[in-house]
Structure 1
Amino acid sequence: MGLPGASTRPRTLNPSTTSRVKQSLNSKSITLKYVQLIVLKIKWLSNKCGSNKMEFSKLQYLPIFMYLWFMSTFVLTYVISVIQKDVEPIFPYISDTGTFTPTSCIFGQLLNVGSILLSIIIYIRYLQIKEINGHLTKGLYSSNVTCLILGWLASLGVGLVANFQETEVFSIHIFGAIMAFGLGSVYQLIQCHISAKTMKECRISQHVVNFRWILGIVSTVTFFTCFCFAGLAMMKYQGTDMTKWKKADGGYSLHLVSTITEWILGVATMTYVFTFTFDFQHFKLIEPTLQFFD
């Protein structure tokens, strides 16, 4: 019960007071929305930058670039050496086109860059297979490590071929060629086995795997053919300059078999690495972490 004389009507706010309350509430609501947007933006930037780590996407273009780099190197040095009459135009050895200056300088520099690109691609391929290690058997893990070692040795062989011309240091040049093409062929065959086992995880088709098997077999056969026929041709050679091998020098047909198969071997090897573009389009690379010793 109310006190005698007290009014029982509810209190009403002044219209101006009501307006100020509404404006205050609207202002707070807008401010809250801005804060939420800023927080979401910060979270997005944090995820995008990966805690300020550099990310490398579009990795599928790296094998393509490497393929074009090597093919351009072979064609460029061939054209220059033929124009300068350093080699015979009919299928010289790839190395012959980079024997004399200035093509030796161009050949060496371009192959040095190419060997670095090749070693990077081989390492990224190793990381890809390592990342799906949970689905792999112990034998496949060993194959992956073996491929990393073989691939890097093959890349080193490319560098030896680039920097030790056959007319200057023949033994090291040939040793580098065996490393580049021989170990490279073994690398391809083991990678074919890995590709067949990880086809689902790598998101590649059976056609890609089959194509790699074809390239791996072609590389292996042409490697042995190239070096065997080169030895037979040299046994019959009677000329004075092997970089300008003519029919009259003897063993010319054997020489042609060797040089043609070397060109096929070079193209097949680079094409094999090119096929990694189908794998590399499905992941990105984040820069490695550096940790100081205690």
Structure 2
Amino acid sequence: MTAWIVLPVSLSAFSITGIWIVYAMAVMNHHVCPVENWSYNVTCTEELPRPGFPKTCCTIQDIPLISKCGSFPPESCLFSLIGNVGAFMVVMVCLLRYAQVIEHSHRCWVNTSALVSGCTNAVGLVMVGNFQVDHAKSLHYVGAGVAFPAGLLFVCLQCVLTYRVAVTALDYWMAHFRVALALGAMVSLVLSGIFFIHESFILQHAAAICEWVFTVDILVFYGTFTYEFGTVTSETLMTGLQRSHHGSGVIIGSRARGSTLSGATKGLKSPGGSSTSTHLNCTPESIAML
């Protein structure tokens, strides 16, 4: 058991708790409507806010999308903090997982692709957290368009890696559990996208619920790395980087040797390649015999 086991759990607990606190603050400040509300109006008359109570009249602007919950202060400040800290922790988890797989002698393109997709997911999270949808809509949607697919790709690739490095029956059960989480994330993301493009209030609300399910699902998936990180040491990351560097050195060295042999072969060849030049480059003994 090492201290790294706390990292995935902290990521899940901090992020899930944080976004639900943001949601609660947004509801209490009348910035969004509660998730259990399915009744929406085209317009609403101005109502006096009642502290501690949610809105009674909701429009399409009050649908509790995660991004909408973090659009206005004070909850937007916490939303940005969660995005930044969560992105940093995601990068750390991805790097440790990448190094751990290499440490188990499983160097493959799937592992590298998982690292790239995980870091891309982190970049998208930073953009989503710092560019609120009501103030920088284009940048916010770019960040969401990067974070959500990259996060889904990351969990799918990690499912493949989990099966590849599995040894015990418990390892395979963890792989099965991750596949279930990945399938749930895929279904919820697809449904969220389908519902979001419609103008129906009900479908828009359903899209918000699917978005919440997808986000929590992905964060729970990150938390499952606690199972493997119990064997991670402080040297795991360095070992992975050193092996990767050593592999690059071997490739470079082989290429250098290949170029040296090629140069030597070229040096052994005559400057001319035609039969005429071969006859012209005769030795003195051959000329004497003639």
The equivalent of 2:137 in structure 1 is: 170
Contact 1:98 1:104 in 2 (8 A): yes
1:261 equivalent in alignment to 2:206:
no
Shift of 1:58: 2.2
DSSP-derived class of the 2:4 partner: coil
DSSP-derived class of the 1:73 partner: helix
1:154 equivalent in alignment to 2:126:
no
| Alignment equivalent of 1:216, drawn from 182, 188, 203 | 182
1:103 equivalent in alignment to 2:70:
no
Runs of 4+ in 1 over 2 A off after TM superposition: 286-290
- Separation in 1, partners of 2:151, 2:35: 26
Shift of 1:110: 2.1
The TM-score with structure 2 as length reference comes to: 0.69
Equivalent residues, number: 213
The equivalent of 1:84 in structure 2 is: 29
- Separation in 1, partners of 2:154, 2:202: 30
- Separation in 2, partners of 1:224, 1:172: 21
Q: 1:46-86, CA deviations, whole angstroms, 9 ceiling, x for partnerless residues?
A: xxxxxxxxxx9321111001111101111111111111111
Shift of 1:288: 4.7
Contact 1:182 1:220 in 2 (8 A): no
- Separation in 1, partners of 2:69, 2:170: 37
Q: 1:75-113, CA deviations, whole angstroms, 9 ceiling, x for partnerless residues?
A: 111111111111111261111110001111111012211
CA RMSD of aligned residues (A): 2.1
Structure 2, gaps ≥5 residues long = 37-63, 242-290
Q: 1:225-272, CA deviations, whole angstroms, 9 ceiling, x for partnerless residues?
A: 11221111xxx3xxxxxxxxxxxxxx1111121011101001100011
Shift of 1:204: 4.8
The equivalent of 2:268 in structure 1 is: none
- Residue 169 of structure 1 aligns to which amino acid in structure 2? A
Contact 1:73 1:111 in 2 (8 A): no
The equivalent of 2:51 in structure 1 is: none
The equivalent of 1:67 in structure 2 is: 12
- Separation in 2, partners of 1:78, 1:211: 28
- Residue 111 of structure 2 aligns to which amino acid in structure 1? N
Alignment of 1:193-272 (within 5 A): 193-200=160-167, 204-232=170-198, 236=199, 251-272=200-221
- Residue 113 of structure 1 aligns to which amino acid in structure 2? V
The TM-score with structure 1 as length reference comes to: 0.68
- Residue 115 of structure 1 aligns to which amino acid in structure 2? A
- Residue 283 of structure 1 aligns to which amino acid in structure 2? V
Contact 2:9 2:223 in 1 (8 A): yes
Contact 2:181 2:217 in 1 (8 A): yes
1:94 equivalent in alignment to 2:58:
no
Q: Identity percentage over the alignment?
A: 26
Query: Larger Cα Rg: Structure 1 or Structure 2?
Result: 1
The equivalent of 2:61 in structure 1 is: none
- Separation in 2, partners of 1:69, 1:208: 22
- Residue 58 of structure 1 aligns to which amino acid in structure 2? A
Contact 1:222 1:264 in 2 (8 A): yes
1:57 equivalent in alignment to 2:2:
yes
Structure 1, gaps ≥5 residues long = 1-55, 237-250
- Separation in 2, partners of 1:195, 1:100: 40
The equivalent of 2:247 in structure 1 is: none
- Separation in 1, partners of 2:171, 2:160: 14
- Separation in 2, partners of 1:220, 1:174: 19
- Residue 70 of structure 1 aligns to which amino acid in structure 2? S
- Separation in 1, partners of 2:151, 2:96: 16
- Residue 29 of structure 2 aligns to which amino acid in structure 1? Q
Shift of 1:183: 1.0
DSSP-derived class of the 1:270 partner: helix
Shift of 1:178: 2.0
